[in-house]
Chains A and B, each alone.
Chain A
Amino acid sequence: MRLLILGSLFDSVATTVAEQVRRRHGLSAVAHRTLEDLAAARWSHRIGWAGVKTDLTFADGSTFAGIAPTMILNRLDYEPALLFTRMRPIDRDYARTEFFALLLSWLSGLGRIVVNQVAPSGLSGPALRPWQWITIAREAGLPAYPATASTSARRTPAPADVAPHAELMPGAAAPALGLLGYDRPLAYCPRPAGWRELLVLEDRVIDRTGRPVDAALAAAGIRLARAVHAEILTIELAQLDSDPQWRFIGANPRPAAIDGAWHDALTTWLEQRA
């Protein structure tokens, strides 16, 4: 197994996986390259009748061909502020946009060894907005947790005993909106009675606490992951009071932490997948 991890050196998921793989397969089984490494590399990326071919040489002299990964754990998070800092501001913005476009093409051309596959919305998988997730999850068989977002509290007053749901309308937190008084944007949902998180690894579904996952729920989670072309996906679910059905709250192809029952599962799956 030769694992290439793409992502920050401060990414706890990446470092945890790297540590485990090195322990099991030796130090040379893992290479780790950051966004800054990619930006500083020498690139020759060809697309044409012969397909896609890229020669990539890092600043330390190592090459992508030399690393020869059998699996790439893609944890790239595009942080443009880290890149091209010596350019003039106007050139810098252009450079950051251009470099993202290059990464999108390069990662796409690498094919199935990259997990998660790149998407235009996110380098390490689909970084969809909450309403997009709700729609796709429902189509996959995960009913939506009820919620409302409105630009006007006057037209859509919030019922009593609801919780704010800021993710559905991030802009509603803007301080300037306080000047609108009562008639301001809002987003809310009923207070959840229960909560759980699942990790989908291709065709496996693991509850974060190790709780069993019933077959129908697991199948729906797998369908959601496939619908967005993600092989690694965490799913947040909640229950309404007096209703045992698990309802979809959100999903993330690039979870910030992998712990508990997920800890070994991810590394084991990567080893089997490689």
Chain B
Amino acid sequence: MILFAGIPSEGPLQMAIEAADRIGLPYVLFNQRHSAHVDLQLDAGDRGIAGALWIGNARHDLADFTGVYARTVETEILPEHQPRGRAAPDMAAFARSRTLNELFTDLLDAADMRVVNRPSAMGSNLSKPYQAQMVQRAGLLTPETLVSNQPEAVRRFHAEQGRIIYKSISAVRSIVKAWCPSTGPDLTAITKLPTQFQGFVPGVNIRVHVVGATLFATEIVSEAIDYRYGEREGHDTRMVPVDLPPDIADACIRLTADLGLWLSGIDLKRTPDGAWYCFEVNPSPAYSYFEEHGGQPIAEALVRLLARRD
């Protein structure tokens, strides 16, 4: 049986639940918005980690679950814990909900079942250049990268690369923007904090979703530097399913496994001369956007993976 956890109206989770319904796979839903009616117990013992999950008064032994797909959010942002007019949030309910959320996170890292994805496996995403080193070890190219707080180093990098962009170093979402000496922005700001610059890689954006040993590749047709914000810049975006060269596909599957992930969203680019570059591995991909626009059965692959014990 599958365990889904999070807010069921959220795209990726909703799509997975619908896929399980369509195929007829049994599941239990831990709706975070109903945390007040959920309890969790973990036991450490000679047989490892055991326990139980109560949804209302329905008790589920953790051993009954083959896999978990978790898209949980921080307790602080749940609507149930926001002020209502002049009424302050219920602090006891909030503390209880947060304790449940923390224990559930512990379950995700400790449970003897397939977890998509374990929180501890998602840590590489905290640092893009750190992750890039792991990507290189898996055999994929990464853009030339400079992280610096020295304006002169950036100018030399620009002269070397010809065209550069800048973005956040961490997982904090940023819009990828171009930098050049004539149009800036001014580099004085970087002296206060190292900033990440990369050599611009021309070509076609390919988004790959890896589900276990299965892979779905989507070509994104867009003129924007950052296709995620293409519409904002007046660019149309189309998604087209494509096949990857076998060595690139193998590297993506290997990289996902090396990172300890069952599901990943990998951002690639295919250059005009046929080279493949990897920009990022997303350990909690919003695959639903790509499935909606590209039609690939990612959710079905995911729930079939979760339903298996092998």
Contact = CB atoms under 8 A, between A and B. Distances in A.
A149 B127 contact: no
A102 to B, nearest CB: 5
A105 B147 contact: yes
Contacts of B226: none
Nearest to B57: A155
A47 B143 CA distance: 8
Contacts of B95: 171, 174, 176-177
A119 B46 CA distance: 28
Contacts of B44: 131, 134, 144-148, 168
Contacts of B192: 84, 87, 95
A151 B39 contact: yes
Interface string B90-129: 0110111011101101110110100000001001101111
Contacts of A132: 106, 109-110, 120
A171 B148 CA distance: 39
B45 to A, nearest CB: 5
B169 interface: yes
A93 B38 CA distance: 33
Interface stretch (A10-18, A23-31, A38-46): A38-46
Max chain B C-beta neighbours (<10 A), residue from A94, A95, A99, A150: A150
Given A45-B129, A94-B172, A120-B123, A171 B102 contact: yes
A176 B133 contact: no
A66 interface: no
B130 A138 contact: no
A97 B172 contact: yes
Interface in A94-126: 94-95, 97-102, 104-105, 108-109, 119-121
Interface residues of A, number: 60
B147 A102 contact: yes
A193 B222 CA distance: 66
Contact of A144 (B40, B48, B99, B127): B48
Nearest to A83: B193
Interface in A30-72: 42-49, 52, 55
B258 to A, nearest CB: 13
Chain B interface helix/strand/loop/mixed: mixed
B170 interface: yes
Interface in B142-186: 142-150, 153, 168-172
Contact of A105 (B103, B130, B143, B148): B130
Interface in A152-197: 152, 155-156, 168-172, 174, 176-180, 184-185
Given A98-B169, A132-B109, A169 B126 contact: no
A42 B42 CA distance: 47
A128 interface: yes
A131 B46 contact: no
A46 B145 contact: yes
A147 B99 contact: no
Contacts of B112: 135
B40 A177 contact: no
Contacts, number: 189
A146 B43 contact: yes
Max chain B C-beta neighbours (<10 A), residue from A101, A134, A170, A178: A101
B127 A101 contact: yes
B14 to A, nearest CB: 26
B91 A143 contact: no
A145 B106 CA distance: 17
Nearest to A150: B41
Max chain A C-beta neighbours (<10 A), residue from B54, B120, B193: B193
B141 interface: yes
A119 to B, nearest CB: 7
Nearest to A133: B110
Contacts of A97: 170-172
B169 A131 contact: no
Contacts of A145: 44
B194 A176 contact: no
Contacts of B153: 44, 55
A129 interface: yes
Given A47-B145, A48-B143, A120-B123, 8 more contacts: A49-B144, A105-B169, A120-B130, A134-B49, A143-B46, A149-B41, A150-B41, A168-B42
Interface of B: 38-46, 48-49, 54, 91-92, 94-96, 98-100, 102-103, 105-107, 109-110, 112, 120, 123-124, 126-130, 132-133, 136, 141-150, 153, 168-172, 192-195
25 contacts: A43-B149, A46-B144, A46-B145, A47-B132, A47-B133, A47-B136, A47-B145, A48-B144, A48-B145, A104-B130, A105-B133, A120-B124, A132-B120, A135-B48, A143-B46, A147-B43, A148-B43, A149-B41, A150-B39, A151-B38, A151-B99, A152-B39, A169-B102, A176-B92, A185-B100
